[in-house]
Every structure is written in structure tokens, then in C-alpha cells.
Amino acid sequence: CRQLIRQPPAPPTHTATPAPPTHTATPAPPTSTPTPAVTPTWTPEPVRAREATFDLPYVPILMYHYIRTVDPVEDELGYYLSITPELFDAQMGWLQEQGYTPIRMDTLTACLLGEQTCPEQAIAITFDDGYEDAYSQALPILERYGFPATFYIVTDFVGQPNYVSWEQLEAMVQLGMEIGAHSISHPDLTTLSSEAAADEIVGSRTMLRERLGIPVESFCYPIGAYNSSVVDIVHEAGFTNAVTTDRHEIQSMLYELPRLRIRGDDTLDGFAWHVTAFESVER
């Protein structure tokens, strides 16, 4: 049942506060759309469960963007969105040492629906936007630890500078990674008409399924923006779950799953705080 969300205590104090940036080095999303537009005839798929039916302990869902090194003075926004490869490696090592078992979002959904048993200390690792370092930096580290993860892809960005290619996505699939949809062009879906929002949501799923030959079950709302109409479209499009940028412990709504944002200025202790923040909260 829904309960009042109890906020966890403040995280450990960060070791440094970056100076204001002198310029923004993080590249803006591409404005071109080289990928042929997908205009499927949309017929809503059979209705699937929207709420969890199984009393599963809280499973943390981690949210990453870049795995790279960024100067906080030159690019403040990029710094907060970026985890250095060394720190990401240390974070994955901490998860292993603490006995966590990373699972994909499709597995988590099956657990939440009571369709399979969830491993002890399950945790999900997700990456937004499909940056190239997901392949060149994150993937080798994940592979070394034997950890699966879910990567949310903006289909029009695939193959653009600083983003993954279709060939790289195919390699990631072969290594057991899950590919989720993150729209065609990364708009605020809540500002679009129902038809335009459906084109973005359904089109991204269709393109990924056709190009990679895989099921695409998970959706990530661009910029974290969603409302009841957008949720309805995601549900009817055939996705089994969707993730937000909201931070709380309620995981009963499968199309509004919260995540824990991992920041560039987090220490390893700060990371541990994020992961364990809601462990003692009554469900």
C-alpha cells in the first residue's frame, strides 16, 4: 500500500564544491536525425499488469549517465552527470564485496510480479541516453564483475558523435546487457500531443526491436518527465515497466519506478549511502 515517503538522512558531505564553470563542455544532444523515422501503425498491445503483486523487499535501481573524467571547473553539469571509470570500478567492487546481485530491469519486473524468485540483495544498474563511454568504459568493468545492466537508448542519437553505434549495441546485447527505450529524440513527452508522444514512445521501441532483434520491455522517461497520459501510452505500447528520476522507495507502480541518481561528486561512502538509504524503511 502507498505510505508517506520518509526521507533518508542527508548523505555524507562531499569532499569538494566545484567552482562555477567557464564554459559547458558536455555536448548538447544532436539536433540532426540521421536514423530513418519509424512510423509504425500503432495498435495497443494486450494490457499488462501495472502494479506489483508480490511483496518484494526494496530493490535499489541505480541511475548513471556518463562514465568519464570531467573537469568540474570547465563543465559543472557534465561533472555531476559523470562518474570516473576508477570510481565506477570501485563502486562495482563495493557491490560485489557487500553481496549484491545486479539484475536487469526485465528480471526485476518479473520479480515484482511474482513470476520468479528475486535473488538476495538484488540491485539494478541503469544508464541513460546511450553515450559512447557506456560501451568503451562501463561495459568492460561490468563484464569483469559479471554484472548485467540496462541501457536506455535514444534511437536518433545512435551513431552520432559521443554516442554508441548500432554495432556497439549489438555487442552489448551479446554480452547479456538489456537495451531499453528512451524515446526517438529525447523530448519532454508531457509537452507533446498524445499522437506525437506515441510516435516517440512506440517508434523508439520499434526501431530497437527491428535493428537489434530483441525484446524491448523497459522505457525511461526523457528528462524524467511523465504524467498519466504518457504512462498510459507506455503501458499500451507493450512495455512491461518504466523508470523515472524520482527518488523514493515505493516500487508498486511498474511504470513509475524510482531510481537513485549517482553523482560525480559522490565519494565511495556517498555511493554506499545511496544504495542503502531505504533499506530500513518499512514497506
- Number of domains making up the chain: 1
Residues with Cβ < 8 Å from 126, sequence gap 6 or more?
Answer: 61, 62, 63, 64, 105, 149, 150, 151, 152, 180, 220, 243, 259
CA dihedral 178, 254, 263, 77 (to 10 degrees): 90
Decide: helix, strand or coil at residue 58.
coil
Residue 47 has pLDDT above 60, yes or no: no
- For residue range 135-152, list pLDDT tens digits in order: 999 999 999 999 999 999
CA angle 142, 222, 44 (to 5 degrees): 100
> Rounded to an integer, what distance in angstroms lies between the CA atom of residue 276 and that of residue 258?
14
- How many Cα atoms sit within 13 Å of 192 on the Cβ side? 20
Q: With respect to residue 39, please indicate whether it lies within any of the assigned structural domains.
A: no
- Confidence tier at 7 by pLDDT (50, 70, 90): very low
Q: With respect to residue 139, please indicate whether it lies within any of the assigned structural domains.
A: yes
Average pLDDT over residues 157-161: 98
- For residue range 102-114, list pLDDT tens digits in order: 999 999 999 999 8
Q: What is the pLDDT of residue 71?
A: 94
SS3 content of the chain, % helix, strand, coil (to 5): 35, 15, 50
> Rounded to an integer, what distance in angstroms lies between the CA atom of residue 250 and that of residue 141?
30
How far does CA 220 lie from the centroid of its chain?
6
In order of 28, 129, 156, 158, the CA distances from 33 in angstroms are 14, 15, 5, 10
Which structural domain range is residue 139 located in?
Answer: 61-276
CATH number, domain containing residue 209: 3.20.20.370
Q: With respect to residue 164, please indicate whether it lies within any of the assigned structural domains.
A: yes
> Rounded to an integer, what distance in angstroms lies between the CA atom of residue 61 and that of residue 268?
17
Mean pLDDT of the chain: 86
Percent of the chain with pLDDT over 70: 79
Q: With respect to residue 37, please indicate whether it lies within any of the assigned structural domains.
A: no
> Rounded to an integer, what distance in angstroms lies between the CA atom of residue 275 and that of residue 262?
9
Q: What is the pLDDT of residue 278?
A: 87
CA angle 82, 214, 194 (to 5 degrees): 75
Q: With respect to residue 25, please indicate whether it lies within any of the assigned structural domains.
A: no
280 close to 31: Cβ distance less than 8 angstroms: no
Q: With respect to residue 50, please indicate whether it lies within any of the assigned structural domains.
A: no
231 close to 209: Cβ distance less than 8 angstroms: no
| Other CB atoms within 10 A of residue 21 CB | 17
Q: With respect to residue 242, please indicate whether it lies within any of the assigned structural domains.
A: yes
Q: With respect to residue 24, please indicate whether it lies within any of the assigned structural domains.
A: no
